[in-house]
Amino acid sequence: MIPTVQHERFNRKVWTFKADFTSSLAKWLVSQSPYVVPDNLSACVEKFHTKLDELGDFDANGMAEIGLSMLSSKIAKILESIPEIMELNKPRNGHNQNIFVSSHMSNPVPDDDFICVGAVAQNIVCDFADRADAQCYLDERRGVKS
């Protein structure tokens, strides 16, 4: 469940391209995967790309101004509609119990691990918030008024 009270950094809009979403998705799927490359990475990114119009009004260049406040739940909804992504949300070995998995273990079993789709959605939004924070900082240093 997404909290209703959010930090002020998420109560703004950012300009973004569709490619910013797909690159962020690929980044977080790879980062959160117990494997070097998650299964069906290309299909996951391509199918996600086809559904990005659900996030905003992208222009002919694939650019849109997107509000961050509800973006995580919108992205999660899209991710949950893509079967290849939902397969990554399950351990390969098919168990459904909670098992502690860490890459720092002496003998990690990647088949026990999975990619949390909710965390992927939140991390994508954090990428955009981080970028907006950096832009605000740079604008302040240059004396640009927002």
Q: What is the pLDDT of residues 30-78, one digit of tens each?
A: 988 877 888 899 999 999 999 999 998 999 999 999 888 888 889 999 9
Phi, psi (deg, nearest 5) at residue 63: -115, 145
Query: Are the CB atoms for 87 and 39 separated by under 8 Å?
Result: yes
In angstroms, the CA 83 to CA 117 distance is: 12
Quick one: pLDDT band at residue 119, thresholds 50, 70, 90?
confident
Query: Are the CB atoms for 117 and 72 separated by under 8 Å?
Result: no
CA dihedral 85, 89, 95, 100 (to 10 degrees): 150
Global confidence as pTM? 0.77
Residue scoring higher pLDDT (107 or 51): 51
